[in-house]
Amino acid sequence: MCAFRQVTWTGQMLGELMEVLVSCEDYSTSQELLKEAAEKPQTILGFLPEQSLSAFLTYAVAREDAETAVAIVLYAQEAGHMEAGQMALKLRSALPLTPQLRARVASALGGDLGFSPEPPINLNPLGES
């Protein structure tokens, strides 16, 4: 009888898998992988690498999927990636966010990146100086 060993997935392994999925344009499986990594971090040794998350963020932005893009930034922040702030800035400049998504990012990263729960109010709607 053959005994099977359970594979212990590392963040690096899953990050490389995510990059392959992004390259193959398999968006739904990439989303599932991120969801599992975020919801069950105890099953993974380490975290998904920043470069893998950055590639997936670029893909999510291209698909105009703000919900997934925010989830990527929040995962990067929770994983302790120093680039999470830069990823948030990229997200902010690329996609409009609902007040709920802005609040989630502001809560995780703080207001120092310009993420307030509400978008700024234009006090001069006519564009007059």
Give per-residue pLDDT as tens, 13-57: 999 999 999 999 999 999 999 999 999 999 999 999 999 999 999
User: Binning pLDDT at 50, 70 and 90, where does residue 114 land?
Assistant: low
Q: What is the pLDDT of residue 110?
A: 78
Q: Is the pLDDT of residue 122 over 60?
A: no
pTM over the 0.85 mark: no
Angle at 57 between CA 52 and CA 63, to 5 degrees: 135
Amino acid at 14: L
User: Dihedral, CA atoms, 110, 113, 119, 125, nearest 10 degrees?
Assistant: 150
Q: What is the pLDDT of residue 126?
A: 59
